[in-house]
Amino acid sequence: MNVLAICGSLRAASINRVLLHAAIRLSPPGMETVMSPDIGKLPLYNPDLEHCVPDQVARFRSQVAASQALLIASPEYAHGVTGTLKNALDWLVSFEPFANKPVALLNASPRAHHADAALREILKTMSAELVEAASITVPLIGSSLTEDEIATHPEISIAIASALLELQASTIHCISHKA
The per-residue pLDDT for range 12-58, each reduced to its tens digit, is 889 999 999 999 999 999 999 999 988 999 999 999 998 999 999 99
pLDDT value for 171 = 85
Instruction: Decide the pairing of beta strands 76-77 and 102-107.
Output: unpaired
The CA distance from 92 to 22, in Å, is 26
**Mean of all residue pLDDT scores within the chain:** 93
The CA distance from 95 to 106, in Å, is 23
The CA distance from 151 to 8, in Å, is 20
Q: DSSP 3-state assignment of 56?
A: helix
> CB within 8 A of 176, min separation 6: which ones?
none
Q: Judge whether residue 179 has pLDDT over 90.
A: no
Query: How remote is the C-alpha of 22 from its chain's centroid?
Result: 13
In the DSSP assignment, the letter for residue 63 is H
The CA distance from 179 to 32, in Å, is 21
Q: Is 33 within 8 Å of 171 (Cβ atoms)?
A: no
Q: Judge whether residue 177 has pLDDT over 60.
A: no
State the Cα torsion 47-49-52-56 to the nearest 10°.
-110
pLDDT value for 41 = 95
